[in-house]
Every structure is written in structure tokens, then in C-alpha cells.
Amino acid sequence: MLSNGALPQLYEGCSPELLRPPINAIRLILHPLGMGLRIVNFAEWRAHSVAVLRQQIDATHDPAIHALLAEIMAYPVPLAGAEPVPADASRHYATPLRIATRLGTVSFLNTNVIFGTPTDITLSELTMEMLFPADDATIAIVKAMVEESAGNDTPSQRAG
């Protein structure tokens, strides 16, 4: 549940408390002082995150994951993110994550990779969640973010 800092622009406006290492990706994305208010499809992403946590609880019985699930279930649902979630949302192979940023809305497809087999206890708990740009607009925005992070001029500087 750790997050890397690949695109710091996605974390703009988040509480510094949530950005202290180690960063918990689920908490950062769903917390109202994190990215929660900017997640365009909050209800769908929350349903996905809850399903992932429940799978991890079933596999590990880890009390820390139980506590994280209870915590995110208590977060308020933003009015803009309260759209109905399809009944089969927890069975998606790829769940979209749509985030409003100052450069535009980005859309990522997500997938989870679980290493090992059910009989390999060491690897069965290792899960990696990856996000891939879902469209050309997201690719363009991500490229602009990478350029900006590298110290190049910002998109607004290029436009002016």
C-alpha cells in the first residue's frame, strides 16, 4: 500500500501529514485532505480499494489492514463522487482512476499483480498495483508533468 512519488503534481494540495513517508497510497487517494476531493470517480475507486483491502484481509488477517479498511470506510463521500457503482465493480480486471489536476483530468487504468502462488506464503502477500494512461489526453498531461518536474518550463509558460 506504499506509493511512489512519480508524479508529484498529482499530490498538489494534499495535507503534508499524508505525504510523510511511508506514504499509504489508499489513504492518500481516498482521504478528504488527500486526493479524495479530486477523484472524479470517487465511488468507483473507493469500491475498488475496499475490494482490494478485503482480499488482503482474507489472505493475511493483518490487523493493520483491518484498521485501514475501517478508516477509509469512515471517510465522507464527496458529493461529486457519489455516483452509483456497478454491482460487479469489484470484479473488474482494470478499474479506471480519474483525477482532476490543474493541467486537466487524467485517466488511468489500473491493474493488480499478485506474485507467487497461494501455497507460497512469502510471495502471496506481495501485490503491486500499476496505473497506465487510459487515453491520449492523459499521456499528454503526464508528459507535461514529467517535463515540469524535470525543471523545464511549465505548460502555462509555453502558452504565454
86 vs 142 pLDDT, higher one: 142
3-state class percentages of the chain: helix first, strand second, coil last, to nearest 5: 50, 20, 35
Q: Which residues, listed in sequence order, are joined to residue 132 by a DSSP beta bridge?
A: 109
Q: Are the CB atoms for 127 and 85 separated by under 8 Å?
A: no
What does each C-alpha distance from 94 to 76, 99, 120, 131, 132 come to in angstroms? 25, 16, 25, 9, 10
Q: Per residue in 82-112, pLDDT tens?
A: 555 555 555 556 789 999 999 999 999 987 6
Q: Which residues, listed in sequence order, are joined to residue 106 by a DSSP beta bridge?
A: 99
Query: Dihedral angle at the C-alpha atoms of 115, 116, 120, 123, nearest 10 degrees?
Result: -20
What kind and span of H or E run contains 59?
A: helix 42-60
* Mean confidence (pLDDT) of the chain: 80
pLDDT at 69 over 80: yes
Q: What is the mean pLDDT of residues 14-43?
A: 93
Q: What are phi and psi of 77, to 5 degrees?
A: -90, 120
So what's the pLDDT on residue 2?
A: 47
Q: What is the mean pLDDT of residues 39-51?
A: 92
So what's the pLDDT on residue 149?
A: 84
154 vs 37 pLDDT, higher one: 37
Q: Are the CB atoms for 98 and 39 separated by under 8 Å?
A: yes
So what's the pLDDT on residue 101?
A: 95
Q: What is the CATH number of domain 8-159?
A: 3.30.450
So what's the pLDDT on residue 117?
A: 57
- Global pTM reads 0.77
DSSP assigned state of 23: P
26 vs 80 pLDDT, higher one: 26
